[in-house]
Amino acid sequence: MIIYGYHSIVEAINESVPIHSIYVDIAKAKRNDRRFIRLKELAKALNIKVQEVPKEKLLSIDKEGADTGFIALLSEVSLIPFDSFDFRVDKNSLIVALDEVTDTGNFGSIIRSCAFFGVDALIVTERNSPPINAQVVKISSGGAFKVPIVRTKNLVRAIEDLKDRGFWTVSLTPHAGMTICELPSDLPFVVIAGNEERGIRRLILERSDYRVKIEGSGKLESLNVAVSLAIAIATIKMKKGKC
């Protein structure tokens, strides 16, 4: 797997992600770019070789990565099988589940929000979900290495399993009669967001304990899924007194 961008690579190093090699635009090395110096120090501590190469070499690896001047080769980000993850259940527990969110930009932004707010886990479906590639890692600002990402073949069954364990499910839908601010503060939640075009599938909506919306005061009726989720997570965390 290729990742690129200074911050993404630093986060990978900090999270002990296995890195095979790092390539840096030789122009940055020659002018003693502070980011290059810092990256070299971090890599040296872990015996990771940093190679100074011409931009043509970076272009041969990845065009977008070449523009950042920093490229690393590493093992794939591992997704945790649903049955293997130890879900903590208490009043402060918060999990996010994505029902076939397909846009790479949204996916990366959601991962970043989950990592920023300390969500316990992000659940994605094996099918109809973007791969965790260099673009997703960069958009997530390295958040892909900081939040457990759990995969499931069947999201409906996974949600039912979590409900049996004591979680309460919250579906984000612009057509709900209840706002996110009206949720109780002392329950373990699974917050569900749906596909950019279709929203959350009917079967999941029907089985949700709560259906909520993000209420605005302007002239637009709704937000995109990544922004809606960020607001929902922040609101729930504030209600729990955690941010």
pTM above 0.85, yes or no: no
* 146-193 pLDDT tens trace: 999 999 999 999 999 999 999 999 999 988 889 999 999 999 999 999
Handedness of CA 118, 42, 55, 132 (dihedral sign): negative
Going from the N-terminus, what domains does the chain have, and what CATH number goes with each?
2-74 (3.30.1330.30), 80-239 (3.40.1280.10)
181-211, pLDDT tens digit by residue? 999 999 999 999 999 989 999 999 999 999 9
Q: Percentage of residues in the chain with pLDDT exceeding 70?
A: 98
Distance of CA 195 to the CA centre of its chain: 16
Reading the block at residue 156, the tokens are 């409906």
Asked if 243 and 117 count as a contact pair (C-beta separation under 8 A), the reply is yes
